[in-house]
Amino acid sequence: GAVVSQHPSRVICKSGTSVKIECRSLDFQATTMFWYRQFPKKSLMLMATSNEGSKATYEQGVEKDKFLINHASLTLSTLTVTSAHPEDSSFYICSARDYKQVLNEQYFGPGTRLTVT
């Protein structure tokens, strides 16, 4: 089946530093990837839609200068949290859509736990 990986699985960083999270589709090509954020005991909140070779589309209220998304290839999208603050601590999950599929099924990565101290 389709597999999506995320790296790192968890990261602790100091306030003011930047953190990069990678999302990779391992056995399929993904023209579109999505980045979600999940707070404890809450549902997933879509942050942005990432399309290969073009700028990401951010949801309302998400700071594009703080959450930099790059989708440079059909198998890799990265989310960089710039100048991280404790309130950015969260569980970040990416998903990817197989461009060969007609239907809108997405495959989810295992998530990255970010803790900002």
Partner 1 sequence: AQSVTQLDSHVSVSEGTPVLLRCNYSSSYSPSLFWYVQHPNKGLQLLLKYTSAATLVKGINGFEAEFKKSETSFHLTKPSAHMSDAAEYFCVVSDIDQAGTALIFGKGTTLSVSS
* Short-list 82, 88, 36, CA closest to 59: 36
Please give the residues from 79 up to 98 whose contact with partner 1 meets the rule CB under 8 A: 91, 93, 95, 97
Q: Which is nearer to partner 1, 4 or 17 (CB)?
A: 4
Cβ of residue 90: shortest distance to partner 1, in angstroms? 13
The answer to whether residue 105 forms part of the interface with partner 1 (CB under 8 A) is yes
> CA 34 from chain center: how many Å?
6
Tokens, residue 84? 């991280």
Positions of E strands within 9-111: 10-13, 19-25, 30-38, 44-51, 57-58, 67-73, 76-81, 90-98, 106-108
Site string for partner 1, 16-55 (x = CB under 8 A): ---------------xx-x------xxxx-x--x-x----
In the complex with partner 1, the residue whose CB is nearer, 29 or 49, is 49
